[in-house]
Amino acid sequence: MRIRIGFDMTYETPAVCPLICLLNVHQRQSAQLEQPDYLRTEPAVPLHTYTDGFGNLCTRLVAPPGRIRITSDAVFHAARAYDPVNSSAIQHEVADLPPDTLEFLLGSRYCETDLLSNEAWRLFGSTAPGWARVQAICDFVHNHIHFGYDKADPTRTAAQAYAQGIGVCRDYTHLAIAFARGLNIPARYCSGYISDVGLPKPYAEQDFCAWMEVYLGGRWWVFDPRNNAPRMGRILMSQGRDAADVPLVHFFGQNAVRDFRVWVDELPD
């Protein structure tokens, strides 16, 4: 299926301000784009791209004082299929994990495994290791946190989300990641688009979304504690240890959001 994806964001800065954007489709899915999802700015400024240590495509630019608009519009070809499920996927012993998964066992800025490991074992230690254990984490987090855009807090950590019981998709994801890592399951943070294909109307207003991938049975699998159900049209933009590694836009100075729109719409074949 063909999915139109994109965004239109306007920020205001009081002075010249460098920034980094992680707003492109991740390179492991970029071949599914009909054309490159170039970023455009108004006013036009030089754009420089590079790939970070997590394989994310990053764009550097310098915003002039005043308003800067950042946009992109592209078409993505996605399989008409839900996120794969494998209930028999096993949990690996730490000694058997590939080296490149080990950093996703460690605590990070928003996922305090040192504060939550004992609680993870108390809540989930009796569950069967592997897929069932991760699903138990997602079920718990999905029911424990009350979602609301008015509950968003860019500095809330996993431990705070657990204590407060409120948040947005990044908080669900941080808490589930922290629990998984506390149980010796590699887990990484993902950001991107999720379509409403397959869901009943009316659709909610579109936004970027966060979910996690966990390493089970020799590969990474998608788990989404916010929605807690397989979805169609999930499109990865960036991945890292937590949201600190993958900000949509990172400003090196003061800024304010003036407009923010996202679209993820199925198109006729």
Q: How many CB atoms within 10 Å of residue 40?
A: 12
pTM, two decimal places: 0.96
* Sheet-wide strand order for 209-216: 219-223, 209-216, 187-194, 234-240
Give CA–CA dist 138/223, Å, rounded: 7
pLDDT in tens, the chain (269 residues): 999 999 999 999 999 999 999 999 999 999 999 999 999 999 999 999 999 999 999 999 999 999 999 999 999 999 999 999 999 999 999 999 999 999 999 999 999 999 999 999 999 999 999 999 999 999 999 999 999 988 899 999 999 999 999 999 999 999 999 999 999 999 999 999 999 998 888 777 899 999 999 999 999 999 999 999 999 999 999 999 999 999 999 999 999 999 999 999 999 87
User: What is d(CA 67, CA 239) in angstroms, rounded to the nearest whole number?
Assistant: 28
Q: For residues 130 and 66, what is the distance between their CA atoms, to the nearest angstrom? A: 51
- pLDDT tens digits, 133-170: 999 999 999 999 999 988 899 999 999 999 999 999 99
> Domains, the chain, ranges and CATH?
2-79+248-267 (2.60.40.2250), 94-245 (3.10.620.30)
